[in-house]
Structure 1
Amino acid sequence: MDAIVERRKLVKGKVVLIRKSVVQTMSTVNGLFATGKNIIHSSLQFDITKSVSFKLISRTKSSNLLNVAGKVGKETYLENNVSVLRTLGERPEEFDIYFEWDDKDMGIPGAFYVKNLMDDEFLLVSVTLEYPPQTSVTHEHNQKNIQDQNHILDQNLILDQNLILDHIHDQKHIHFDCNSWVHNHKCYKTDRIFFANIPYLPGKSPVQLRVYREEELKNLRGDGTGKREKWDRIYDYDVYNDLGFLDSDAQQDHPILGGLKYPYPRRVRTGRNLIHNNKNDGSYEEPDESYYVPRDENFSQEKVKEFLQLGTKTVAGRIEPLLLSLYLKNTSNEFNGIEELQKMYEGGVDLPLSITANGTPSVIAFPPPHLIKESKFAWMTDEEFAREMIAGVNPAVIRLLKKEELAWPRKIVCSCIQPSTVTKETLEINMDGVKLDEAFADRRLFILDYSEVFMPYLSKINDLPYAKAYATRTFLFLKDDGTLKPLAIQLSKPLRCGCGSSNTESTVVLPADKGVESTIWQLAKAHVTVNDTNYHQLISHWLNTHAVIEPFAIATHRNLSVLHPIYKLLHPHFRDTININSLARKSLINAGSIIEQTFLPGPYSMEMSSAVYKNWVFTDQALPKDLIKRGLAVEDITAPHGLSLAIEDYPYAVDGLEIWSATKKWVQGYVSLYYAEEGAVEGDRELQAWWKEVVEKGHGDLKGQWPKMQSPKDVVETCTTIIWIASALHAAVNFGQYPYGGYIMNRPTQSRRWIPNPGTQEYEEMTNNPQEAFLKTITPKYQTVMDLTVMELLSTHASDEVYLGQRNSLNWTADQHAKQLFAEFTENLGKIEKEISDRNNNQELRNRTGPIKLPYTLLLPTSEPGMTFRGIPNSVSI
């Protein structure tokens, strides 16, 4: 018997996993009782070595010619029994494991099955095999001398096409980069499978692994039926029918988003029961305590803890006492002057009641936003107002003014109203002696135009009890010193004339620094900023990054195997996106949510984003194409990155082009490793299925305007654009929210008064007390506290964040060439980070810091945890 055991070939492995802590399990009385019962009745629950089994799968040997699937080895269990106390910290645990595996008979391992017999899930981090085995061991793991290692590889296998590239992989280990939660085996139709981290295109995948590869993709796609459970790993599409509706809704309020009438990107299907709304004949998903996301898309335990701690501190400590105070009518919802607003950042505002046991009055306090750390009033300058259009939190909307746009085209249906328009003479007043034709020729005139987006909804918005809004157009001039100067603001709103016809009422406001005209100018700028803030949050931020990326994440999991090199390239850029989007649908953008309570369009917010999505074009999201489309750049082979910028000191564009170019270089090098052969892209069935599904399902409401997937160039441009949207674009529009918008006067979310007309009570109040008139025009107190609380949360990096140029595992691929290219990418980003810092210290580049003395740091790649006003996470993760 001993001789038989000794002849067995044992392959040693190392398993790293994370269990839920016993402290977490016993955090409630019920949990304590349940845990006690498990200890008494089920010792398996705490002896993980008897509860988790593994079976290796060969990538080079099949059972027979008829069954080409790789041979499956014998079942084995973890070794090294670990005490319960070791799991208290929820930290990784390492176990030894020994597989009975004769390489001559079984070949080389390429995958494994894992089975969890416990009730509790665990996170399988990684498995590493010592392969080829260095020693032959007995069942008791006594080391013995063995023959030369060359006997391990069957000579017939050396010529196998699947082994030709092995020289670029680790020759001493086989790594399985798992990072997946494993539930009890009864939760799955088939045992969980994991593959070694060697990338293969479908056509070059070892034949022994192909059936397993296809089966795993089938499991991830599901069958499109049933309610998803918390342990599921199923990725499927659905429309936005989970935002809910209100009892007070009219027939067209809160429509379902997705379809011909209200096109929208798709989100992950949850399969919850539907509620029929008789008012608009729509079927909505019923609310739930938590929204399903595929199990591996959940936040890490560490991030959940931080997220809940920060959310509890901010929401419970600010919104609840203020809401209670207002409900009890102990305080007004208006700020009692700028002094009260300032106190929120300087010690806090005392409320006339206490919600604490010791009777101490509650205080509303916020950290000082970066915007006012150097100066409390520099944000009011025209230079800063304009600078934030190219270096603020919404820097990708401003565009070059076209001659034909100068007189805003409109159909005048009657003579009751003659709208004011911006004319040549209007602009030249403030153009420092430069004539209009000269300015057009030199590309020095720009516009921030929100007329097309807001005008169709202004009648509805202005019928809301709190809203008085315009659609704004701001005209700007590029000065000789490289800064932008606002020339005029056009404020427009719908008007029903005396004759009963619909028309547009427009007013043009010019810059002024004295008297009542200066107050009107400041109010006009505030209305522009309200447009900009709402467009930023609903379109630039939510729609253009969060919503549009989710279909790519879904399609990737459904169609690209974890073995696929493009999966390995893109997967880090979807981390936490599905989870944060589900949280947004549950509490931020749903019917009656924070967005609807505090932002100008209220119940029409998401419908407005749908109207903009109709014109969304994927290829235009590439930064160079975006800049060219907006007239902010022209192609120039002699210029850096092949573009000549209309505004040379355009921080978002200058920094962004460097990030874009470095990313594209990395993607080009990576893609070339796998698609060197002619026809390789068109012949890649997984890639073609992926792209077809993105276009026809994930973004199926948009017809046409999609690139073909026919060449390596198409793959490079597509993947670079996806990475750009998920990383740098999101960072640019997200992590400056609180630094710029935390001071509500700079970026108000609501406008509650139009600019008053002479002879009215509001005009007199504006004349006598400009500050009070300004505060009564913008977001009131309760809505401000809600907005700032959310902004602070969304502007904060988690401690486990993974940034551009980083991976959460060193063994994300076995391809050493790919790792070297990635190391070069990381090095390039480090150089870019230094160059950005150098530019910020260049006093001649006035747009880098502006009057508020706040350097543009949003596209610095790295960051520490917290609200740092910098850092580019790999993904839309917050």
Structure 2
Amino acid sequence: MTGGMFGRKGQKIKGTVVLMPKNVLDFNAITSVGKGSAKDTATDFLGKGLDALGHAVDALTAFAGHSISLQLISATQTDGSGKGKVGNEAYLEKHLPTLPTLGARQEAFDINFEWDASFGIPGAFYIKNFMTDEFFLVSVKLEDIPNHGTINFVCNSWVYNFKSYKKNRIFFVNDTYLPSATPGPLVKYRQEELEVLRGDGTGKRRDFDRIYDYDIYNDLGNPDGGDPRPIIGGSSNYPYPRRVRTGREKTRKDPNSEKPGEIYVPRDENFGHLKSSDFLTYGIKSLSQNVIPLFKSIILNLRVTSSEFDSFDEVRGLFEGGIKLPTNILSQISPLPVLKEIFRTDGENTLQFPPPHVIRVSKSGWMTDDEFAREMIAGVNPNVIRRLQEFPPKSTLDPATYGDQTSTITKQQLEINLGGVTVEEAISAHRLFILDYHDAFFPYLTKINSLPIAKAYATRTILFLKDDGSLKPLAIELSKPATVSKVVLPATEGVESTIWLLAKAHVIVNDSGYHQLISHWLNTHAVMEPFAIATNRHLSVLHPIYKLLYPHYKDTININGLARQSLINAGGIIEQTFLPGKYSIEMSSVVYKNWVFTDQALPADLVKRGLAVEDPSAPHGLRLVIEDYPYAVDGLEIWDAIKTWVHEYVSVYYPTNAAIQQDTELQAWWKEVVEKGHGDLKDKPWWPKLQTVEDLIQSCSIIIWTASALHAAVNFGQYPYGGYIVNRPTLARRFIPEEGTKEYDEMVKDPQKAYLRTITPKFETLIDISVIEILSRHASDEVYLGQRDNPNWTTDSKALEAFKKFGNKLAEIEGKITQRNNDPSLKSRHGPVQLPYTLLHRSSEEGMSFKGIPNSISI
């Protein structure tokens, strides 16, 4: 393979190789370093490096002495078989400790290649690692190439010992080529690399594998341990998006289910533990494995705390004073740095959480009807409410199975609080709205209410758009099987006001479960994974659409794998703390039956829910029915910016529809997304055919919107709103008490205690707010929408210019959001809790900021 193409002595191509040693990225190394520098860790690793003969080498030259070799591959000259010429091996040389462009924990090394003009221009390279440990290859830069100049390779990949691979590891220049325009000498290399990434669909995946393949969700239950779950995906009963295949062993009791355990993700999806987000996501593992048992110890030790909250003040005490801990429990938390980041112990023997944003200004604003309604359009789940277009509201459930589930709310009940407006007039004027969870929950209520602590309703809430542009609730309908639905109306005094507060709590419990399982997990995390898999299987790193979409998949497969292991698995954190319990993912599967890809575009979603009307003369071509709808107003500007950027980028490479149709990689990608990745919905007529430039622009815009802005809108407000559990309870344990019962008398005597006995109890609260605090945080090195982690991601000047315009537009939108939040006439921007809507503010600082749109679903 070497062939001596670099035979002319004396002339060299100088290169710089930037990498990160394994131990720098090792979780245990980071936690043991504490406040020590990452540089010390890297040097320590270098000092332990081994050359090919297994001899110890000097710290700063650990990678020299034939430890790592590179071979350049020509993009302009072939070897006679049609493949690009391969040069002689060159080895890493001296360490460059002062390179000014190095990022944190990165190490740079010289490398020199012999130069022969007959070789042509390099377009790729092979790399071999002769050491025992893997390393993370960041980039390679070649300088002063005769008649060409500088060439950059953006790598960002783990490289294991060369014996781990059946084919040499190859990296391509950061140029961009459609398949038909690929330089001839690189065509076969391009095809071979995609074949490697696809694998052959067999075998158990190993740590160093880079294979992307599909599987169903057959790994959530534990049949051998007596805790099975239905297999989700691959059937009409339980359709679902696909996840990455692991090839693990099957369980004894169910040969179709995989054994639970460590989750495989393709090696480059598991970046290691360099990022703060990785550090925090692995906190979820610590939470599952270490903290939950500690919480049980705390709750069971009645000398420390009772198992119930007795007042709202006691709930606020989690943030204002904390829970006093015995020394033996505190000592179990202290050695775990991730947990010390979550819990504020500070040597005071207390477990203390940061105060959620929703109570930082007003302690009681959350209880108001105005805030209850505002959070439906400016909270953490702002995309479920819809305009009421018929009365009474009807059900889509089969009446033969469930009976007539038409709403029992009457016009007379609504008109009590309509100020003289009739229901017909309000519907005609587009002023009635509904938050409807009836059909999602009703089929599962009997099962849910048979769980140990669950007592829940399926809810409908009807709201009215007031003259000042804000919403107010008019009625809540609480339904359960075999009984007449209960309708509760607003009240401000006496026991009726407590009943009304409890009714709102039951609505929010529905909303919390639907949000976590559908709006958050299903509609962002789960539906995106098939796109990430297919992109890696069929779009070369040289492909323009790969370069467009790749940043929007970063860490998603990894965090989804972690979710299957600790969050959505049988007995996992979601099942423990949210209403549907063991039926959680099964319920989300039923909802997925009605998922429509094209409706994920924000304009289509708003029109479908009746929250917008198409109007060519209006901004964004839509007229919002609720003008002060923060999620929609900010979101439409972000959506338009994304679509404009995608349009300008795609136009660089696809001048005609024919170019789309003739792109073999692109067509294979889309075919597999539809037929395999979302194969349970493959026959739906709404899938774009990807035959036109507009098809591609719209589809890519939906993918980017979903991975960035939509996920940000439904994720980073979780702790700010839900950290105060009384505002967003996740469990309902009692029905509303009936007059003449002991519970009713308690409700009259102590409304707060009655409320707290109805919603999430203390143990589950501690678990829930610990998880959502992690999920609501940004990493220190997060890459936000309109940014890239490497300026050399492409060499195309037109693409770079369009991307710069995109970033500038997003910065402009940030300014507009700030202006709207300072407008006192826009009541839904702050609400009674005085919390401005910033979830679609693009940039953010590290930590829990209640703003920021990362490029991808990275947490």
Give the TM-score normalised by structure 2.
0.90
In structure 2, relative to structure 1, the CA distance for the partners of 1:663 and 1:772 (3 Å cut) is: same
Is the aligned partner of 1:102 residue 2:116?
yes
**In 1: Cα distance, 2:290 partner to 2:348 partner:** 12
Query: How many residue pairs were aligned?
Result: 819
**In 1: Cα distance, 2:386 partner to 2:241 partner:** 26
Q: What's the secondary structure of 1:553's corresponding residue? A: helix
Q: CA deviation at 1:34?
A: 14
Q: What's the secondary structure of 1:687's corresponding residue? A: helix
What amino acid is the match of 2:246?
T
Q: What's the secondary structure of 1:333's corresponding residue? A: coil
Of the three residues 221, 227, 238, the one matched with 2:204 is: 227
Identify the residue that residue 765 of structure 2 maps to in structure 1. 784
What amino acid is the match of 1:14?
T
Identify the residue that residue 20 of structure 2 maps to in structure 1. 18
Identify the residue that residue 847 of structure 1 maps to in structure 2. 828
Of the three residues 463, 466, 472, the one matched with 1:479 is: 466
Q: CA deviation at 1:384?
A: 0.3
**In 2: Cα distance, 1:185 partner to 1:417 partner:** 66
What are the residue-to-residue correspondences of 1:1-400 with 2, within 5 Å? 8-21=10-23, 41-43=54-56, 47-49=62-64, 50-64=66-80, 67-81=81-95, 91-103=105-117, 105-133=118-146, 152=147, 172-245=149-222, 253-277=229-253, 281=254, 283-288=256-261, 290-303=262-275, 306-307=279-280, 319-330=292-303, 331-351=305-325, 354-356=328-330, 362-400=349-387
Of the three residues 778, 796, 810, the one matched with 1:829 is: 810
Q: CA deviation at 1:677?
A: 3.5
Is contact 1:468–1:753 with CA below 8 Å preserved after alignment?
yes
What are the residue-to-residue correspondences of 1:716-755 with 2, within 5 Å? 716-755=697-736
**In 1: Cα distance, 2:612 partner to 2:25 partner:** 57
What are the residue-to-residue correspondences of 1:629-644 with 2, within 5 Å? 629-644=608-623
Is contact 1:254–1:604 with CA below 8 Å preserved after alignment?
no
Identify the residue that residue 522 of structure 1 maps to in structure 2. 501
Is contact 2:281–2:559 with CA below 8 Å preserved after alignment?
no
In structure 2, relative to structure 1, the CA distance for the partners of 1:19 and 1:512 (3 Å cut) is: same
What are the residue-to-residue correspondences of 1:799-810 with 2, within 5 Å? 799-810=780-791
1:431-474 CA-to-partner distances (Å, cap 9, x unmatched) read: 12222222111111100000110000000001112010000000
Q: What's the secondary structure of 1:558's corresponding residue? A: helix
Is contact 2:288–2:566 with CA below 8 Å preserved after alignment?
no
Is contact 1:419–1:506 with CA below 8 Å preserved after alignment?
no
Q: What's the secondary structure of 1:534's corresponding residue? A: helix
Q: CA deviation at 1:312?
A: 8.4
Q: Which of structures 1 and 2 has the bigger CA Rg?
A: 1
Identify the residue that residue 439 of structure 2 maps to in structure 1. 452
In structure 2, relative to structure 1, the CA distance for the partners of 1:417 and 1:126 (3 Å cut) is: closer
**In 2: Cα distance, 1:441 partner to 1:569 partner:** 44
**In 2: Cα distance, 1:433 partner to 1:23 partner:** 66
Is contact 1:45–1:51 with CA below 8 Å preserved after alignment?
no
Is contact 1:302–1:800 with CA below 8 Å preserved after alignment?
no
Identify the residue that residue 743 of structure 2 maps to in structure 1. 762
In structure 2, relative to structure 1, the CA distance for the partners of 1:421 and 1:115 (3 Å cut) is: same
Q: CA deviation at 1:737?
A: 0.1
What are the residue-to-residue correspondences of 1:486-635 with 2, within 5 Å? 486-495=473-482, 504-635=483-614
**In 2: Cα distance, 1:298 partner to 1:647 partner:** 43
Identify the residue that residue 159 of structure 1 maps to in structure 2. none
Is contact 1:246–1:591 with CA below 8 Å preserved after alignment?
no
**In 2: Cα distance, 1:637 partner to 1:460 partner:** 48
Q: CA deviation at 1:409?
A: 8.5
**In 2: Cα distance, 1:23 partner to 1:632 partner:** 47
Identify the residue that residue 343 of structure 2 maps to in structure 1. none
Identify the residue that residue 425 of structure 1 maps to in structure 2. 412
**In 2: Cα distance, 1:217 partner to 1:625 partner:** 34
> Percent of pairs identical after alignment?
59
In structure 2, relative to structure 1, the CA distance for the partners of 1:520 and 1:690 (3 Å cut) is: same
Identify the residue that residue 337 of structure 2 maps to in structure 1. none
Q: CA deviation at 1:63?
A: 2.1
Is contact 1:355–1:361 with CA below 8 Å preserved after alignment?
no
Q: What's the secondary structure of 1:505's corresponding residue? A: coil
Is contact 1:407–1:423 with CA below 8 Å preserved after alignment?
no
1:798-844 CA-to-partner distances (Å, cap 9, x unmatched) read: 11211000000000001111001000000000000000000000000
What amino acid is the match of 1:295?
R
**In 2: Cα distance, 1:214 partner to 1:410 partner:** 49
Is contact 1:420–1:507 with CA below 8 Å preserved after alignment?
no
Is contact 1:408–1:421 with CA below 8 Å preserved after alignment?
no
What amino acid is the match of 2:17?
V
Name whichever of 759-768 and 680-689 sits farther off. 759-768
Q: CA deviation at 1:342?
A: 1.5
Is contact 2:395–2:405 with CA below 8 Å preserved after alignment?
no
Is contact 1:632–1:647 with CA below 8 Å preserved after alignment?
yes
Q: What's the secondary structure of 1:474's corresponding residue? A: strand
Q: CA deviation at 1:638?
A: 0.8
Unaligned runs of 5+ in 1: 134-151, 153-170, 496-503
What amino acid is the match of 2:764?
Q
Is contact 1:45–1:119 with CA below 8 Å preserved after alignment?
no
Is contact 1:726–1:876 with CA below 8 Å preserved after alignment?
yes
Identify the residue that residue 163 of structure 1 maps to in structure 2. none
Q: CA deviation at 1:347?
A: 1.5
Is contact 1:19–1:90 with CA below 8 Å preserved after alignment?
no
In structure 2, relative to structure 1, the CA distance for the partners of 1:388 and 1:25 (3 Å cut) is: closer
Q: CA deviation at 1:287?
A: 2.5
In structure 2, relative to structure 1, the CA distance for the partners of 1:405 and 1:58 (3 Å cut) is: farther
Identify the residue that residue 344 of structure 2 maps to in structure 1. none
Is contact 1:738–1:795 with CA below 8 Å preserved after alignment?
yes
Is contact 1:551–1:699 with CA below 8 Å preserved after alignment?
yes
1:485-518 CA-to-partner distances (Å, cap 9, x unmatched) read: 10000000002xxxxxxxx530110000011110
1:247-286 CA-to-partner distances (Å, cap 9, x unmatched) read: 78688x4444443221111001111111143xxx552211
In structure 2, relative to structure 1, the CA distance for the partners of 1:387 and 1:95 (3 Å cut) is: same
Is contact 2:284–2:566 with CA below 8 Å preserved after alignment?
no
Q: CA deviation at 1:336?
A: 2.6
What amino acid is the match of 1:187?
S
1:644-676 CA-to-partner distances (Å, cap 9, x unmatched) read: 000000000000000000000000000000001
In structure 2, relative to structure 1, the CA distance for the partners of 1:261 and 1:282 (3 Å cut) is: farther
In structure 2, relative to structure 1, the CA distance for the partners of 1:866 and 1:316 (3 Å cut) is: farther
Give the TM-score normalised by structure 1.
0.89
1:721-762 CA-to-partner distances (Å, cap 9, x unmatched) read: 000000000000000000000000000000000011111111
Identify the residue that residue 142 of structure 1 maps to in structure 2. none
Identify the residue that residue 38 of structure 2 maps to in structure 1. none
Q: What's the secondary structure of 1:786's corresponding residue? A: helix
Unaligned runs of 5+ in 2: 1-5, 33-40, 335-346
Q: What's the secondary structure of 2:659's corresponding residue? A: coil
Is contact 1:56–1:111 with CA below 8 Å preserved after alignment?
yes
